[in-house]
Structure 1
Amino acid sequence: MSRKKTIQEVNEGSPDWLNTYGDMVTLLLTFFVLLFSMSTIDIAKFKAFINSIEGSSGILSGGSSIGDGSEVGNGINQLSNLDIYFDKTNEEEIQLKTQEELKQMHSDLKNYIQENNLEEEINVTLGNYYVVLTFKDGVLFDSGKAELKPEAIEILNKIGTQLSKYADNRIRFEGHTDNRPINTIRFPSNWELSAARAIAVAKYYIDELGFDPKQFSTEGFGEYAPIADNNTEEGRAKNRRVEIKILSKYVSYAVETEALQ
């Protein structure tokens, strides 16, 4: 009797271990792609993405996620410092943009003032949240008055040409005096005088040069924000001044107001 040949079955396709290996490699690749994408992530979009998947329904319409949908959400919520990270990142980005904008603005204004021969009338300084134009004593107003001098008009017009380039920036007008008291019917104290001078400059730009009043604010500091010693005539002259502060457009108004107190 002849022997029957045993027929060995040949499995078609890849071995099981190769399928498992392939899945693992694919998952690793996906993981590293995800890490790379998060390194340049748009924070606002990522937060919106997280909000969209927390407790979400299934991908297909009519389906529901396995469980209560909190697995992914809880994984994110376990990162207790996530909001702090976002806030810190946003703050750093805003700070960087603010400094870049202000440095460029300071350079442009300084060059503009030099080109127009206004160095004797105006100083330009750089602050943390703004660039300051300081009109020296006697440039805009006579002593004890809040009416613009005729020769001040030309100076304000020249500065207005440059200010018009900052339509997206808030601009603050500040009046300052020395500590010598004033007591007139119109100006019972230095507060009223300093405030009236700040308003006079702002109103000129609004009424005569067509600036948007929503862009402006005014303040009178009187004698209470000196930059020099009031015990000397030179110091008092420095304290009698009008300042125009051009605020960075990257800083919120609330933060600007708090920072300038």
Structure 2
Amino acid sequence: MARRKHEEEHDNHERWLVSYADFITLLFAFFVVMYALSTVNEGKYRILSDSMSSAFRNVQVNSSSPLPVTLTPPIPVIQKPRAAERAQEAVKQKRRDKMRNVAQDILEVMAPLIEQGKVRVIETSRGVTIEINDSILFSPGQALLQPALVKAMGAIADVLAPTDFPITIEGHTDNVPINTLQFPSNWELSAVRATTVLRLFVDSGVVPDRLTAIGYADTRPVEPNLLADGRARNRRVTILIDSADPEKGKEVDLESRPVSQP
């Protein structure tokens, strides 16, 4: 009987380990929960902070009431184009329409030569270009207009005289060299040919201030100079009718030069 009582007392002394293990488990779970609560998602915290700041900016406290009043954000107003911008666009559209009319008039007066492939009228974003084969304008190595083409060039000048578009006349040659007393190189030949057309335009009533003559020699070919057809295509005079007004230049001084970093 005494032995049985002794065994029960021995068992009771070892049961505290179970309670201790349960306590340790609960304590571990407590610290895990505390750690989870102390970890803040930075992205969500930033969103919450921005939302709170925005909400407080839109709150106005009424002196007679402790309750906050939320202000409705103003409805954005769509700004209409300014009057100056509308006027500028109207001017540009008017010039575009005028340029199309000029191109149509040139097509009409040059229709026979266009059908023969001697004249091309090209419309670009810059304006209208009239490309004329120099074989119908000048004799080989010469800069005097053929009498048969003087009337046709005068018709182009009659179309351009009433307008206010800037006009650039360009002379082009092939790569066959020339060395005469009057034309030591293709540079002189192309420049004089362009100037000859310019003088005819001036005599026909085109304002000289609108005219520019440039000689490019053989530096801007439109076809390879390997064959006779390509060289004939490159010998040309082009008349560029510019749709835009020339921009006014601005002087660049030393103070506006960017400073280089060491």
In which range does the TM-score fall when normalised by the shorter chain? 0.5 to 0.7
Q: 1:98 to 1:163 in 2, by over 3 A?
A: closer
- Tell me, yes or no, if the aligned pair for 1:98 and 1:251 is still in contact at 8 Å: no
What amino acid sits opposite 2:155 in the alignment? K
Q: 1:251 to 1:104 in 2, by over 3 A?
A: farther
Identity of aligned residues (%): 31
Structure 1 residue aligned with 2:80 = 39
- Aligned residue for 1:134, secondary structure, equals strand
Deviation at 1:164, TM superposition (A): 1.9
The structure number with the bigger radius of gyration is 2
Report the Cα distance in structure 1 between the residues aligned to 2:153 and 2:105, rounded to whole angstroms.
17
Of residues 127, 135, 140, the one that matches 1:138 is 135
Deviation at 1:253, TM superposition (A): 6.9
What amino acid sits opposite 1:202 in the alignment? L
Report the Cα distance in structure 2 between the residues aligned to 1:225 and 1:155, rounded to whole angstroms.
25
- Tell me, yes or no, if the aligned pair for 2:166 and 2:245 is still in contact at 8 Å: no
- Tell me, yes or no, if the aligned pair for 1:134 and 1:244 is still in contact at 8 Å: yes
Structure 1 residue aligned with 2:15 = none
- Tell me, yes or no, if the aligned pair for 2:169 and 2:240 is still in contact at 8 Å: yes
TM-score (norm: length of structure 1): 0.59
Deviation at 1:118, TM superposition (A): 2.8
Structure 2 residue aligned with 1:221 = 216
Report the Cα distance in structure 2 between the residues aligned to 1:128 and 1:253, rounded to whole angstroms.
20
Gaps of at least 5 residues in structure 2 are 1-70, 250-262
- Tell me, yes or no, if the aligned pair for 1:130 and 1:245 is still in contact at 8 Å: yes
Mapping of 1:62-73 within 5 angstroms?
none
- Aligned residue for 2:110, secondary structure, equals helix
Measured against aligned partners, the alpha-carbon deviations of 1:97-144 in whole angstroms (never above 9, x if no partner) come to 776554454344324432xx2313321011221211111131111000
Structure 1 residue aligned with 2:174 = 178
Q: 1:174 to 1:44 in 2, by over 3 A?
A: same
Measured against aligned partners, the alpha-carbon deviations of 1:200-237 in whole angstroms (never above 9, x if no partner) come to 1101111x213211010010000000001100000000
Mapping of 1:77-88 within 5 angstroms?
none
What amino acid sits opposite 1:215 in the alignment? R
Cα root mean square deviation, aligned? 3.3
Q: 1:98 to 1:158 in 2, by over 3 A?
A: closer
Structure 1 residue aligned with 2:50 = none
Q: 1:152 to 1:113 in 2, by over 3 A?
A: closer
Structure 1 residue aligned with 2:199 = 203
Mapping of 1:1-261 within 5 angstroms?
35=77, 38-43=79-84, 102-114=99-111, 117-119=112-114, 120=116, 121-166=118-163, 168-206=164-202, 208-249=203-244, 252=247
Report the Cα distance in structure 2 between the residues aligned to 1:234 and 1:205, rounded to whole angstroms.
29
